[in-house]
Amino acid sequence: MSINVASISGNLGANPELRQTSTGTQVLSMRVAVNDRVRQQDGTWADRPNWIGVVVFGNRAGALSGMLHKGSKVSVSGRLRYSEWQDSETGKKRSKVEVVADDIEFLSPRSDAPAYAPQHQQPAPAYQQAPQEAPQYQQAYARQPQVAPAPAPQYQQPAAAPAPQPAAAPAPQAAPQPGLYDDEIPF
């Protein structure tokens, strides 16, 4: 048995690319920079990015394409996939390993993200005439009596604790009576 699980976090190096397969499946491709800390010869530390390809399939691909942008910090969980193909320009055999994402978590604050604006937004239909009567559930809700909110609870200051009294001397223990305890176990 083998386990194929990948979990990475980093920043997008460019805006994600959305495309469709010949069968109509949406595919979102992106590259995530996962940094390694490397000690340089002078003793200082530097970040070295590892560029990891990430791909998302299906309806999530279209939804995520409008929410992700260059620089977005994400956490990706999924599985590794190895691909081989023939380069059409050079004729050479090429290959890559990428993460097929099952889950993407946004780690960037919302202020870093651009305003979400879908590419294919349609105007909402305008009604020609307002409805004549409210639906049944709204009428029932409107007839419910209004209830005043409960008054806020009033808290009292706790009374001052009495001053501690000096401890009384312990009473002397009486010597055990003979025959009170048996050596036999009662069970």
- Domains belonging to the chain, first-starting first, are 12-106 (2.40.50.140)
Residue 108: predicted pLDDT: 84
pLDDT at 177: 58
157-185 pLDDT per residue, tens: 555 556 666 666 666 565 555 555 556 66
C-alpha to C-alpha distance for 21 and 128, rounded to whole angstroms: 41
Query: 117: pLDDT confidence band, cut at 50, 70 and 90?
Result: very low
